[in-house]
Amino acid sequence: MNLIALSVAIVAGIGFLCALILSLASVFFAVPVDEKAEKIRECLPGANCGACGFSGCDGYAAALSKGETTNTALCVPGGNDASSAIAKITGGEAGSVRPMSAVVLCQGNFHNVEQKLEYDGVETCKMAAQLFGGPKSCSYGCIGFGDCVKACPYNAIFICDGVARINPDSCKACKTCVSVCPKGLIEMIPRDDVKTAVLCKNCDKGAQTRKQCKAGCIGCMKCVKTCEAGAVKVENNKASVDYDKCTGCGKCHEACPVKCIDLLKL
């Protein structure tokens, strides 16, 4: 009997002591929680994509709460809703977020390009790109193993005919895919209204490009001549559109002989 009482007393005593120390510690070493940051954190989408330039949503919330930044428009996935919600908490002015969508600038699908080698290695774009610039005849184009598909936190990207395509309805413009693509094919394009975009990144000369891809930009300058707004220019044997100047008239699309300029409705 005595032994039982002693053992119970010892275990209970140690348990009580531990509880006492822990409860005292939780009082004396309590960390004040930043309530403002918590509230701001709730307004953010929680994708931790890093588009704002801080380390995840927590980092951005903490920076806003401490006043390290007053710009409420840095969260692109959250958009204007998040911006105005944050502005209500911080008491500052809500900045407006320009809605963007990511677009894969390549049309090198199975119909337009050919396979220059039989690739049998690890099926990631990063690995395939190291072997002669990828298995397709155009070494500037989309490899189509879907590194961006795996990286997208919103499942907005899919592979269609060997080329990555982004669903603008699901895209939250977090830019995660932009840094993943080994060919740098993904660009952010403003969603405002109809825009034209050059769906090619091939820097080779026209004749060379023609051999590689049926829809590759050959740098023929026709788009530059037709554009009334002066938004299109050709550099490095490929055309590019200044999205701020583009009016979306579609004349360059009609003029383009290879149809690598497309009208996007984002």
Partner 1 sequence: MKWFFSIIMTAILTNNYVLCKFLGICPFLGVSKKTNTAVGMSAAVIFVMVLATITTYPINLLLVKCDLEYLQTIVFILVIAALVQFVEIILKKYIPALYNSLGIYLPLITTNCAVLGVVLLNIQNGSGFAESVINSFGAGLGFMLAMVMFSGVRERLEGNDIPKFLQGLPITLVAASLTSVSFLGFTGVVEGIFG
Binding positions for partner 1, rule: CB under 8 A: 3, 6-7, 10-11, 14-15, 18-19, 21-22, 25-26, 29-31, 122, 127
Closer residue to partner 1 in complex, CB, 5/207: 5
At closest approach, how far in Å is the CB of 158 from partner 1?
22
CB of 11 to partner 1, least distance (A): 6
* Least Cβ distance, residue 30 to partner 1 (angstroms): 8
Would you report the helix, strand and coil content of the chain in percent, each value rounded to 5? Answer: 35, 15, 50
Q: Which is nearer to partner 1, 85 or 143 (CB)?
A: 143
The least distance separating partner 1 from the CB of residue 63, rounded to whole angstroms, comes to: 15
Maximum CA pair distance of the chain?
103
Least CB distance to partner 1 at residue 55 (A): 10
Report the residue number, 8 or 221, with the smaller CB distance to partner 1: 8
Nearer CB in complex with partner 1: 21/194: 21
How far apart are CB 15 and partner 1 at their closest, in Å? 6
Closer residue to partner 1 (CB): 23 or 170: 23
Nearer to partner 1, 11 or 221 (CB): 11
Pick the closer one to partner 1 by CB: 111 or 126.
Answer: 126
CA distance 183 to 137: 14
Cβ contact 238:200 at 8 Å:
yes
